[in-house]
Chain A
Amino acid sequence: MEDSNREAEDVSDADAAITELYTAHYAGLVRLATLLLRDEAVAEEVVQDAFVALHRRWRKLHDPQKAAAYLRTSVVHGTRSVQRRRHVADRHPEDRPLDAPSAEQTAMAGATGDALIRAMRKLPARQREALVLRYYGGLSESEIAAAMKISNGAVKSHASRGLATLRPLLESWS
């Protein structure tokens, strides 16, 4: 009996935490996942999966800060899974037309910005992850390392290789 009461408390505790974390992080994580994946609907699914996973694990985590880190890790992992699956389903992903940029996007980032995004999407996944987490997520090296489940050094090298590839575009953009 005591056990089931405690369980019930844990569940409502988890529910409350999820609501709070949702408000704080959901939109940001969906945007992050969209940058990594391109497909917004799938990105949302990945983020929802992460929240559901977090809910299940809440009893162990119990810490909003750790929870945010867990969500990021989970989202990065989720986007990788999607991409792997996509790769299996679609043998020629390069042949697929890129999503047409929206009018707003073109207006805001300009043609060069758009080219930059396209170039970023062609980067190897780890380089893209490192760049998105750093330059969109604004995360520290250790936070990125945790999210990608790699070492700090590896974060550094993925990010700098990615940046090097994009550099010509970045320099020409004024």
Chain B
Amino acid sequence: MSEMNEKWTPEEERLSAALHAQADNVTPGPDGLAQIRRRTVRAPWWRRPAFLTAAAGGLATAAAVIIAVNSLGTDGGDLSVSPADSPTTTEPASPRSPESTPDDDTVSDDDDATVGPTESPADSEDADTGDVDDGADAESDDQDQPPGDDAGDGDGTGEEDANAEPDSVYMAAEGSALPVYYVIDGRITREWQRVDSTDNALVTAVHQTLNGPSFDPRYETLWAPVDVVSAEVVDDVIEVNLSSPVELAASPESAEVAVQQLVYTATATAGSLVDGVSSALPVQILVDGEPPTDLFGQLDMTEPVTRDDQNDVRYFVQIDNPGYGAEVAGPVTVDGVAAVHEANLLWELRRDGEVVDSGYTSTEEAFTFSGYSIDLGDLDPGTYEITVMEDDVSGGEGRDPYSETKEFTVLE
């Protein structure tokens, strides 16, 4: 590539000549730049076709209202919560029931949308099937705006929907897997939970994210226990009403991540469970019915908030299936979402602390949140631990690789 070093010995010169001769045989393909372009000119996720359809659906039912009144309290009473595979299964909740999990597993295996290449998982696909014939004013403006960039956007859209009649949607949490976000290493990550509650799914999911606990012991919530009074979708805004006191359980610097924990959970739940509701809705946080000017004593929440870019807030390696503590039968497939350098992921399967299998897998796309899948095949009954991690930390950033671990049990 560049000039010879004149201090080289004759041996070194020979080596150099041999290498150059060998290299000269290599003729790079003609379309390298096009290949690179194809990957760098990726449409922002909110402009991709799947999302546009979902957005149109969202407008169609823009005025849908989800009424939900809390009956959970801060401790969730004696709610029964079980780990869930990513949805969507329609079977009734049977928490911690060993028989239910294998079925879930086979269902979810085909359900790529939930862990699909854009974050908004089942959201887009479910929304696809929503009614679009209901006076859908699919405003092109809305499609061109990143739904998450400006908190004002959410407000503006409401005005155009005055013609749509409010429609009540009540979606019980029972039987559905809820995408609940927790925090690990200062970043949010998703855990699917099946909650045995006849309460509204949105209230339930928000209650779970704020109050926990998660199944995965590495996860935590940044919120001190708090009452969720209501959570509803009104004119394209998700309103979450909390009852004071509303406090952080973590340090003050984590306030914004805490808000995103709530925003991702509420938007993902609305998007994945309610037909026609996009997962990109803004969220208005209310405390005792009022928009707080100083949430946690520091954040002005008078305007609705939207999702931050997932690259900024999401943990980069996530396992969706199996859920932590899940019981599975038959061949085991691990799937999840990750955003990693060169799309490379390394995995290890442990049993009683010993590595029994390992390998590499790739996400569908490098650097961006996209799905991966690992086929572990048939495993002997027992309790296992699967770890998925970045192959290597590139770019000399000098940090530990991101990794995710789930414990699961293979049944007889």
Contact = CB atoms under 8 A, between A and B. Distances in A.
A34 B23 contact: yes
A34 B22 CA distance: 9
B40 A52 contact: yes
Contact of B22 (A1, A117, A149, A170): A117
Interface in A94-130: 102, 104-105, 108-109, 113, 116-117, 120
A3 interface: yes
Contacts of A88: 358-360
Contact of B1 (A19, A120, A137): A137
A85 B347 CA distance: 12
Contacts of A59: none
A55 B11 contact: no
Interface in A5-24: 14-15, 18-19, 22
A48 B31 CA distance: 11
B69 interface: no
Contacts of A32: 1, 23
A32 B11 CA distance: 20
A132 B23 CA distance: 10
Nearest to A140: B5
A63 interface: no
A117 B36 CA distance: 30
Interface in B335-359: 341-344, 358-359
Given A34-B23, A81-B391, A132-B19, 11 more contacts: A14-B40, A15-B40, A22-B36, A44-B29, A48-B39, A52-B366, A53-B366, A77-B394, A85-B360, A109-B21, A138-B5
Interface of A: 1, 3-4, 14-15, 18-19, 22, 26-28, 30-32, 34-35, 40, 43-44, 47-49, 51-53, 55-57, 70, 73-74, 77-78, 80-81, 84-85, 88, 102, 104-105, 108-109, 113, 116-117, 120, 131-132, 135-139, 149, 163, 166-167, 170-171, 173
7 contacts: A26-B33, A34-B23, A53-B342, A55-B36, A81-B392, A109-B18, A138-B2
